[in-house]
Structure 1
Amino acid sequence: MAEAAGAAVAPAKLGLYSYWRSSCSHRVRIALNLKGLEYEYKAVNLLKGEHSDPEFMKVNPMKFVPALVDGDAVIGDSYAIALYLEDKYPEHPLLPQDLKMKALNLQIASIVCSGIQPLHNLTVLRFIEKKVGTGESIPWTQQQIDRGFADLLLCHTMLTSFPNGVAAENLVKGCAGKYATGDEVRLADIFLAPQIYAAVTRFQINMLNYPTLARLHEEYMKHPAFQAALPDRQPDAPSST
């Protein structure tokens, strides 16, 4: 039966192409959860090469996850997805109105997604194992994460009065409240959380060197939106039984 004229049409559910262990997908799951958006989880197994399947390449020719489908819009980059969600679904804003704090959030997100995570993604680790030797990818990853956590200081010194040379994590130490840039979860948190989680659970980073980041990790692990986005809670995560 045709819908009555003027009847409300329910919006189509969002679709998220994701891999359980992907940090980039992890970020987007947190953002969707924070904004209270329902979505259909579409698993793409990177280990099996499903990102190179012709059907997935129709969605994202770059062969990356995550990819978000919202009606006729398809966005295939976690940073772009986060900003798209922020613009289209303003509930629970991820960016503060204060321009200085907004810039800080954008810089933290950019450092994570361009200066840390890409240097230890699956393609890089496989290349190192093949060209350098078995087991060599772990020290490489640890070095890149430690360097990346230290690099967070660079944008902090641009926005605060902290002198050069203080501990790297002063980026968040100088302005953190309960979360990275205050008492509300913001964009910086959805990028920091998966990176810290991977550092703690996969790459044996000594978080005693980063007490503020360690404290933030504890807060993230208590928050329902972050808990629901955890890798081992995704439908494609390997069974623990």
Structure 2
Amino acid sequence: MLTLYSYWRSTTSYRVRVALNLKGLSYETVPVDLVAGDQRAPDYVAKNPSKGVPALVLEDGTVLTQSLAILDYLDHIAPDPALLPDDSILRAKVQAAAQIMALDVHPVNNLKVVMRLKSEHGFPNDDGIAWMRHWMSEGLHAYQALLPEGPVYSFSDSPLLCDICLVAQLYNAHRWGVDMTHFARLLEIEEHALKLPAFDAARPENQPDAN
């Protein structure tokens, strides 16, 4: 049994939950309350020195951190369904789209970044929200511009790595009130994905620590 240290609203945890579900891997969820600061507890820091989520503990006790690294591991141990296509060019395009969400958008909107802006630079709450909306909108525009016409999902008729990263980030976009007027294609992808049991079960509101 795999053990996933997760926070219900964490987009990075959301990504890993989707992948675990898609691949039919059984796992136990251990909540880490980021708002309460559980990620800074010494026993958790010993597992994940980055003081974040997710952390995936394997059956032999090995701990894996960083969602993209965990997704790569899962794709190797359970290759069906694959999160990346075999074609080298399409594979690079899928990874590029995923990285827009995971490397461009998420880091600047991370809870610890926004809290630092508030505590060290006096950002009022409204400015913090405007900051997050700006960077999410920038990333969503860039992501959508990469997409071909035709596939049900971003690049395929089945969800891939980039779709997992996109849907998780769209949860935050809705939560923080990003204007979605110009992202019809992305909303279509989200609608299709959330009809799949693997995505639906991974939704933040369906997690044991949701409140």
Measured against the shorter chain, the TM-score band is over 0.9
1:30 equivalenced with 2:18 (yes/no): yes
Q: Deviations over 1:108-150 (max 9, x none)?
A: 1111111001111111222233322232111111111111123
Counterpart code for 1:25: S
Hey, what's the Cα distance between the residues in 2 that align with 1:53 and 1:149? 34
2:156 to 172, 182, 194: 182
**Which residue pairs with 1:195 in the alignment?**
169
1:219 equivalenced with 2:207 (yes/no): no
Counterpart code for 1:91: D
Q: Whose radius of gyration is greater, 1 or 2?
A: 1
**Which residue pairs with 2:117 in the alignment?**
128
Helix, strand or coil at the partner of 2:181: helix
Counterpart code for 1:103: A
**Which residue pairs with 1:110 in the alignment?**
99
**Which residue pairs with 1:146 in the alignment?**
137
Helix, strand or coil at the partner of 2:146: helix
| Runs of 4+ with deviation above 6 angstroms | none
The alpha-carbon deviation at position 104 of structure 1 amounts to 1.1
1:52 equivalenced with 2:40 (yes/no): yes
**Aligned residues of 2:98 and 2:161 also touching (Cα < 8 A):** yes
Helix, strand or coil at the partner of 2:178: coil
**Which residue pairs with 2:29 in the alignment?**
41
- TM-score normalised according to structure 2 size: 0.94
1:77 equivalenced with 2:70 (yes/no): no
Helix, strand or coil at the partner of 1:15: strand
The alpha-carbon deviation at position 72 of structure 1 amounts to 3.6
Q: Deviations over 1:135-171 (max 9, x none)?
A: 211111111111112333xxxxxxxxxxxxxxxx231
**Aligned residues of 1:19 and 1:25 also touching (Cα < 8 A):** yes
Helix, strand or coil at the partner of 2:57: strand
Counterpart code for 2:123: V
Hey, what's the Cα distance between the residues in 2 that align with 1:224 and 1:127? 37
RMSD: 1.3
The alpha-carbon deviation at position 73 of structure 1 amounts to 2.5
Hey, what's the Cα distance between the residues in 1 that align with 2:178 and 2:125? 19
Helix, strand or coil at the partner of 1:209: coil
1:99 equivalenced with 2:73 (yes/no): no
Structure 1: runs of 5 or more not aligned: 1-12, 153-168
Structure 2: runs of 5 or more not aligned: none
**Which residue pairs with 1:165 in the alignment?**
none
Helix, strand or coil at the partner of 1:206: coil
The alpha-carbon deviation at position 175 of structure 1 amounts to 4.7
- TM-score normalised according to structure 1 size: 0.83
Matched residue count: 208
**Aligned residues of 2:6 and 2:31 also touching (Cα < 8 A):** yes
